[in-house]
Chain A
Amino acid sequence: MRLTDTFAFATRAATGTPMRTALMMLAMSIGVAAVVLLTALGDGARRYVVGQFNALGSSLVIVLPGRTETGGVGASAFVTNAARDLTAADAAAVLRGADVTRVAPLLLGNADVAWGGKLRETMIVGTSTHFLDIRKLELAQGRFLPDEGFDRATPVAVIGAEIREQLFGSERALGQMLRVGDRRYRVIGVLARSGSGLGMNSDELVIIPVASAQALFNTAALFRIFVEARNRDAVPGAKAETLSILKARHGGEEDVTLITQDAVLGTFDRILGALTLGVAGIAAISLAVAGILVMNVMLVAVTQRTAEIGLLKALGATGPAIRRVFLAEAGLLSIAGALCGLLLGHIGAWGLRQAFPELPAYPPNWAILAGVGTAIGTGLLFGIMPARRAAEMDPVDALAKR
């Protein structure tokens, strides 16, 4: 039997029982669609997080006060207190490193913010002029903190868009005196609305010079220091320089933890990647179930078409030829089902993108290949047994329908 005949025969057999064929294709396509859609969701989440991190700039080194032997980033990431504080003077010293271009000290705290009889509690950030560029924030009005030494406590403040709206409403915010805690600051700028980033919503911040924040909270201890390297390749150099400068300043004691953006990003990337893979694996179980169905239906088909097989054999068709016919049918069914599923999955992913525009929910190529491949693979695998049973039939018995 020629190849084209084999396929023509298989196609006719499949279209001869449209209901059954449609149901098998449905089963296959549910599995493939589930794999495609779920990986699109997982990969979309991964891309979203990576995008958020890259928006922060990829050549960043973050300095945390304190260091523990165990736990790595775990415990110390939430601790600001150390026997020796990380200070604004430390931040100024780090700026001397050859690979370092910008430094932003970060001192955080909560305080009351009041203007015109309206009061609310919000997060205060004490930092320097470079914070704007390092965090890639944008100004809507006015200007950012002045470029001056970290020890100058200029009484000025830059406020987030949400704070501006809540305190000032339709009135002009620039130039007004804002009360923060028990001190007064002149508003010199308003941040543009940026929505929430990772862990910090810049719409609800009040930003003041780091020395002002030190006075306000009566502490010298910084929460973090953001250090920006010259470029991505200079990150290891900047990290080493920062560490040696801080070590020298802290009496030879290595009591800080340095995190690079890439390390954090890598961790997130791995976790979300593994999650996507796991979810895809669970969805792929349904492909095995679809495979069992294909096998079942093909077995039924072999029984029903006993006479036909007998006739073919009587006319001289060999065992392998018969096997090929049935395998071709199983393969065709799987391919059609997989393609339908692919289409359904893509439509689902498109729907996801429409519903959540910020989530880049595109199924990754490996998932499409794996989904379709697994579908066709299981279809063929589960088709082997029925095909073999058909091929091994005795022509006389088969013709007699026994």
Chain B
Amino acid sequence: MGWRDFLAMSTRALVAHRMRSFLTLLGIAVGIAAVILLTSIGEGIHQFVLTEFTQFGTNVVAVNPGSKGIKGGPPGLPNTARPLTLEDARALERIPGVTAVTPAVWGNAEVEGHGRVRRSTVYGVGPAMQQVFTMSVRSGRFLPADNAEQPRAFAVLGSTLKRELFGHGNALGERVRIGGERFRVIGVMESKGQLLGIDLDDTVYIPTARGLALFNRDGLLEIDVSYREGTPAAAIARAVERVLDARHGRKDFSTTTQEDMLEALGNILDILTAAVGALGGISLLVGGVGIVTIMTIAVTERTGEIGLLVALGARRQTILGLFLGEAVALAALGGACGLVIGIGLAQLVGLLVPDLPVHTPLKFVVLAEITAVVIGLLAGVLPARKATTLDPVEALRAE
């Protein structure tokens, strides 16, 4: 049988039972659409979270006090018997490849200004923070490169805090009281928005040494090191560890590269997307059962036809191919419909929730279509085999 005849027979069989074919298609299509929609949303969340985290630059290594692998406590414990100091931070600046270092300490304090009071997060940071975290100043300037031990009492406001205290008025040059101490406002930061529900703009930045004094601490909470683009993160982390090791005598700190963190985060999100896709896959499985059912019925109905074909000399393989082809065609067509529906729905979700960058990667599209075809093949095998084992004489007599 030529492939032309083959195709013609399959199509005729499908078209002859329009309603039946349509419903089988629909079953597979719903399954594929569910998988595509869910993975698109999952992928969208993935992208969303990654951009949220990479907005601070990706070439950052964070150093925290306390060695890694301490179990039993919440992350970032504030106290340690071995503090990280401003001198440690200065030593890290000398590492080749490092572009900027900012020693950081943060806490919560009352900020008074323009006759208003607001409790905000206070960050004690170095003048290079702006560079490390790729943040920009909207008006005025960032903290100047003063003597690190005795910096002048300057403060830079986050945009939310500026609005709450000064409204639309000018804040530059005004005085604010932070935890009872006086600071002069020299800049206002560009808005950074929210990260995981925390307003990043309800903050005020002051020099690190002032922050340490304000919170009455001698150790930093974190040192952030940014390095030249293209330098391997692991090499910088190793160099940081070597320098601090030499200064402290042993490893009583831990380093986290942004790369590691993003990779770990990416892995978790990938698993999440896969899990959600698998949930949608349940529908696909049911759709597969649908194809099996319909093909079984088709074989029973067309017993006479099969008998005739065999009597005319059609080989068993041809019969097998005919039924398998029909099942695969159904599944592939249903899969294609499902793809269109799924991508359409995903775009609709994207329109309704503009914050979520729904995204259907080609990988998922191809994977889903292949899955549909494979399901068609698997579902077709049983009925098709049954068709080939029919005895032609018996089959011809069936009608």
A285 touches B30 (CB 8 A): yes
Query: Does B215 contact A81, Cβ atoms closer than 8 Å?
Result: yes
A299→B81 contact, CB < 8 A: no
Known: A75-B121, A111-B80. A204 touches B283 (CB 8 A): no
Is A141 an interface residue, CB under 8 A from the partner?
Answer: no
Which of A44-52, A61-69, A241-249 lies at the binding interface?
A61-69
Given contacts A38-B279, A216-B81, contact A108 B73 (CB under 8 A): yes
Interface: B216 (CB within 8 A)? yes
What residues of chain A have their CB less than 8 Å away from a CB belonging to chain B? Answer: 19-20, 23-24, 26-27, 30-31, 34, 38, 65-71, 74-76, 78-85, 107-112, 121-123, 160, 181-182, 199-205, 216-219, 221, 223, 253, 255, 279, 282-283, 285-286, 288-290, 292-293, 295-297, 299-300, 304
Contact B66 A71, beta carbon cutoff 8 Å:
no
Known A-B contacts A82-B109, A223-B78, A296-B20; A279 and B293 likewise in contact (beta carbons under 8 Å): no
Are B110 and A83 touching (Cβ within 8 A)? Answer: yes
Distance of A137 from chain B, by nearest CB (Å): 13
Q: Is the CB of B283 within 8 A of A286?
A: yes
Task: Establish whether residues B71 and A296, one from each chain, have CB atoms under 8 Å apart when the complex forms.
Answer: no
Cβ-closest chain B residue relative to A76: B108
B198 in contact (CB, < 8 A): yes
Q: Which parts of B20-54 form the interface with A (CB within 8 Å)? A: 20, 23-24, 26-27, 30-31, 34, 38
> Are the CB atoms of A204 and B72 closer together than 8 Å?
yes
Q: How far does the Cβ of B117 sit from chain A's closest Cβ, in whole Å? A: 9
Q: In whole angstroms, what is the CA distance A397 to B151 when docked?
A: 99
B74 CB-CB contact with A under 8 Å: yes
Contacts known (A30-B289, A82-B109); A109 close to B79, Cβ less than 8 A: yes
Other than the given A83-B179, A112-B81, A202-B72, 15 more pairs (CB < 8 A) read A30-B282, A30-B286, A68-B121, A82-B108, A108-B78, A121-B252, A123-B73, A219-B217, A282-B34, A282-B282, A283-B279, A285-B34, A286-B283, A292-B27, A304-B301
Contacts of A109 in B (CB 8 A): 77-81
Knowing A69-B119, A85-B216, say if A122 contacts B72 (CB, 8 Å): yes
For B108, give its contact among A65, A217, A292, A299 (CB under 8 Å). A65
Task: Evaluate contact between B290 and A296: CB separation under 8 angstroms.
Answer: yes
Q: Using a CB–CB distance below 8 Å, which chain B residues touch chain A?
A: 19-20, 23-24, 26-27, 30-31, 34, 38, 65-67, 70-74, 76-81, 105-110, 118-122, 160, 164, 178-180, 196-199, 202, 214-218, 221, 252, 276, 279-280, 282-283, 285-287, 289-290, 292-294, 296-297, 301
A83 lies within 8 A of B215 (CB): yes
- In the complex where A81-B217, A107-B79 touch, is A67 in contact with B20 (Cβ < 8 A)? no
20 interchain pairs, CB-CB under 8 A: A30-B285, A66-B107, A67-B108, A68-B202, A69-B202, A80-B78, A108-B77, A110-B67, A110-B79, A111-B80, A121-B252, A122-B72, A199-B74, A200-B72, A217-B81, A283-B282, A285-B280, A286-B286, A292-B30, A296-B23
Chain A residues whose C-beta falls within 8 Å of the C-beta of B76 in the assembled complex: 78
B290 touches A27 (CB 8 A): yes
A114 to B77 alpha-carbon distance, docked (Å): 20
Quick check: A71 and B202 within 8 Å, CB to CB?
yes
Q: Which residue of B lies closest to A21 (CB)?
A: B293
A108 to chain B, nearest CB (A): 5
Q: Do B20 and A300 touch across chains, with their CB atoms under 8 A apart?
A: yes
Given A83-B110, A219-B217: A297 and B293 interface contact (C-beta under 8 Å): yes
Q: State the total of A-B contacts with C-beta under 8 angstroms.
A: 215
Chain A residues whose C-beta falls within 8 Å of the C-beta of B105 in the assembled complex: 81
Main secondary structure of the interface of B (DSSP, over half): mixed
**A69 and B118 form a contact (CB under 8 A):** yes
Chain A residues closer than 8 Å to B197, beta-carbon distance: 71, 74
Contact (A83, B180) CB under 8 Å given A74-B198, A292-B290? yes
Contact A282 B107 (CB under 8 A): no
- Known A-B contacts A20-B296, A83-B178; the reply to A279 vs B279 at CB < 8 A is yes
Interchain nearest-CB distance for B116 vs A (Å) = 11
Taking the closest CB of chain A, its distance from the CB of B25, in whole angstroms, is: 10
Q: Assess the B289–A26 pair: CB atoms within 8 A.
A: yes
A292 in complex: contacting residue of B23, B71, B215, B301, CB < 8 Å: B23
Residue in chain A with minimal CB distance to B24: A296
What are the residues of chain B within 8 A of A297 when measuring CB–CB?
A: 293-294, 297
A38-B279, A110-B70, A296-B23 known; A27 vs B286 contact (CB < 8 Å): yes
The reply to whether B196 and A300 form a contact with Cβ atoms under 8 Å apart is no
* Closest beta carbon of chain A to B389's beta carbon, Å: 15
The CA-CA distance from A302 to B286 in the complex, in Å, is 22
A20-B296, A121-B67, A223-B78 are known contacts. Are A110 and B73 too (CB-CB below 8 A)? Answer: yes
Q: B202–A182 contact, CB under 8 A?
A: no
How many Å from the CB of B69 to the closest CB on chain A?
8
Set of chain B residues within 8 Å of A111, measured between Cβ atoms: 80-81
Report yes or no: B65 in contact with A110, Cβ–Cβ below 8 A.
yes
Report Cα–Cα, A123/B78, bound state, in Å: 11
- Asked if B296 and A68 sit within 8 Å, CB to CB, the answer is no
Q: Shortest CB–CB separation between residue A37 and chain B, in angstroms?
A: 10
Looking at the assembled complex, report how far the CB atom of B26 sits from the nearest CB atom of chain A, in whole angstroms: 5
Q: How far is the CA of A286 from the CA of B70 in the complex (A)?
A: 45
A219 to B217, CA, bound (A): 8
A201 touches which of B67, B72, B81, B122 (Cβ 8 Å): B72
Q: Which residues of A contact B23 (CB under 8 A)?
A: 292-293, 295-296, 299
User: In the complex the two chains form, is B27's CB within 8 Å of A293's CB?
Assistant: yes
Tell me whether B71 and A24 are in contact (CB under 8 A). Answer: no
Task: Please tell me if the beta carbons of A66 and B286 are within 8 angstroms of each other in the complex.
Answer: no
Tell me the smallest distance from the CB of B363 to a CB of chain A, in Å: 21
A138 to B197 alpha-carbon distance, docked (Å): 37
Bound Cα distance from A85 to B73, whole angstroms: 21
Closest CB-CB distance, A13 to chain B, in whole Å?
Answer: 14
With A81-B107, A83-B178 known as contacts, the answer to whether A31 contacts B81 (CB < 8 A) is no
Contacts of B216 in A (CB 8 A): 85, 219, 221
